[in-house]
């Protein structure tokens, strides 16, 4: 037995003591390659499936990543997966700002913008209430409500980076990611048909779709599937929601920082409460508002943001514990379902007054 343990020490490592005792390996450029290469292959597959069969690339990447979650046990992949789900995520969030400008937001009109803020606030509040109803904690409801209210998977990733995996586990985060992605895909399919059944005008349909569909691509696609005019309105409304991502992240960061300060007695600092990627997002929005960026720059930046967020979704799915994900049960999807319904209902009520 002693010889076996010397040759295969992990046989006797029931609780992971040997792994903990191993010295931490220095992260080099080469150590990132295996994980990044795998994520890149899955991203290409997701994009191919999306292009040829129509489902959102984010959804395809999420499902393939979940199917490959067993690869996370290979330590050679961990550095690349962590880099994709953390660093590339933050860079992608910064690049989202390249599509947003204050001029587009002002074109929405003060009444519609105020209504949009009210709808988003109500949706986030619904997430908090739904978390209690389905016996989840408040932060899980905040994650579900914020993802639904702002921009789906992108907002879920951004909020989770602020909240932290210590407060919300990888598997519970994946539940929100999966729920919002599926709900957004369904909304893109059915909301234009509902708008047509209700005989909504182009402006009404555009606001309804832009204010209630979660992900940016699905909201814009759903709007243009109704009419070109509805697509333009949906684009402005949706990008206005994306702009509000930064204030929501700042508020959440300061609340969590204040909570930590209250419990530990430490001081709150602006540097701790304002993550660099939020600052980058705001600065890019300001830059895009002050000067007209070349079309090629906007297109490349927008595509880079989509790609990096796709990488982050795939890596997060691969790192998820699928058994733990299934153990949470259907109740975990309750907050996403309720916030999705409330977002659609309130948006529909407002467009009836337009």
What is the pLDDT, as a whole number, of residue 10?
36
Q: Alpha-carbon distance 310 to 304, whole Å?
A: 10
What is the pLDDT, as a whole number, of residue 265?
46
Q: What angle do CA 231, 154, 284 make, to 5 degrees?
A: 80
From 228, 276, 295, select the one nearest 89 (Cα to Cα): 276
Q: Name the pTM for this structure.
A: 0.71
Contact 57, 105 (CB under 8 A): no
From 95, 213, 215, 110, select the one nearest 153 (Cα to Cα): 215
What is the pLDDT tens value at each position of the chain, 354 positions in all?
444 444 444 333 333 333 333 444 567 778 888 899 999 999 999 999 988 887 878 888 888 988 888 887 888 888 898 898 878 878 887 887 787 777 767 777 788 889 999 999 999 999 999 999 988 889 999 999 999 998 887 788 888 888 887 888 878 888 888 888 888 888 888 899 999 999 999 989 999 999 999 887 778 878 888 888 888 888 888 888 888 888 888 888 888 877 665 554 444 444 444 567 778 888 888 888 888 888 898 889 888 988 888 898 888 888 876 665 566 667 788 899 999 999 999 999 999 887
- Cβ partners under 8 Å of residue 41, min gap 6: none
What is the pLDDT, as a whole number, of residue 266?
43
What is the pLDDT, as a whole number, of residue 8?
42
Q: What Rg do the C-alpha atoms of the chain give, in angstroms?
A: 21
């Amino acid at each position: 037995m002693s010889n076996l343990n010397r040759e295969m020490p992990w046989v006797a490592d029931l609780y992971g003591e040997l792994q903990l005792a191993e010295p931490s390996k220095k992260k080099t450029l080469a150590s990132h390659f295996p994980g990044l290469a795998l994520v890149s292959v899955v991203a290409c597959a997701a994009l191919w499936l999306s292009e040829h069969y129509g489902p959102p690339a984010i959804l395809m990447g999420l499902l393939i990543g979940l199917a490959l979650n067993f690869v996370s046990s290979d330590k050679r992949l961990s550095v690349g997966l962590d880099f994709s789900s953390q660093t590339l995520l933050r860079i992608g969030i910064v690049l989202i700002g390249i599509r947003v400008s204050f001029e587009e937001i002002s074109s929405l009109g003060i009444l519609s913008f105020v209504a949009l803020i009210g709808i988003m606030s109500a949706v986030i509040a619904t997430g908090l209430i739904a978390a209690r109803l389905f016996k989840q904690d408040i932060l899980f409801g905040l994650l579900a409500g914020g993802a639904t209210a702002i921009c789906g998977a992108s907002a879920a990733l951004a909020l989770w980076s602020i909240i932290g995996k210590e407060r919300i586990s990888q598997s519970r985060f994946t539940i929100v990611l999966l729920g919002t992605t599926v709900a957004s895909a369904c909304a893109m399919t059915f909301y234009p048909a509902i708008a047509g059944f209700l005989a909504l005008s182009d402006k009404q349909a555009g606001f309804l779709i832009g204010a209630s569909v979660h992900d940016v691509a699905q909201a814009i696609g759903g709007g243009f599937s109704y009419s070109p005019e509805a697509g333009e309105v949906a684009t402005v409304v949706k990008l206005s929601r994306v702009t509000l991502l930064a204030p929501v992240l700042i508020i959440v960061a300061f609340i969590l920082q204040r909570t930590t300060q209250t419990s530990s007695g430490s001081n709150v600092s602006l540097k701790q409460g304002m993550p660099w990627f939020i600052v980058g997002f705001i600065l890019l929005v300001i830059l895009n508002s002050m000067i007209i960026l070349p079309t090629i720059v906007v297109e490349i930046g927008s595509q880079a943001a989509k790609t990096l967020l796709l990488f982050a979704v795939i890596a997060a799915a691969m790192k998820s514990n699928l058994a733990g994900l299934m153990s949470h049960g259907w109740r975990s999807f309750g907050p996403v379902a309720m916030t999705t319904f409330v977002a659609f209902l309130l948006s529909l009520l407002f467009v009836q007054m337009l």
